[in-house]
Amino acid sequence: MAVASARQRKGIGSALVGAGLEQCTALGFGAVVVLGHPTYSPRFGFIPSTRWNIHCEYEAPPEAFMAIELQKGYLAGRAGTIRYHPAFAEV
């Protein structure tokens, strides 16, 4: 998720993240992972995914790869490496 510089600080990003999490919950997803800014994503409840021994396939600081459980306890006992669609390798 990104917001054009001229449009930042107007709540657009927060609205997009909030709507995305609501939609994921409505669709029955148990958790969401994000490779995001370590001071931005936590405001929505994201915490470092290392708590569950879940890692990113890319070299990223652990504090930037985060997860949130949409269903309490969903990530308990899970571990591994998150793999992204190949299109993300070009970003």
Predicted confidence (pLDDT) per residue in 15-71, tens digit: 999 999 999 999 999 999 999 999 999 999 999 999 999 999 999 999 999 999 999
Q: What is the pLDDT of residue 58?
A: 93
Beta bridge partners of 7: none
User: Three-state DSSP class for 23?
Assistant: helix
Q: What is the pLDDT of residue 90?
A: 83
Tell me how far apart the alpha carbons of residues 78 and 19 are, in angstroms, rounded to a whole number: 26
Cβ 48 vs Cβ 33: under 8 Å: no
User: Over the Cα atoms of the chain, what is R_g?
Assistant: 14
Q: What is the pLDDT of residue 21?
A: 98
Q: What is the pLDDT of residue 32?
A: 98
User: Three-state DSSP class for 22?
Assistant: helix
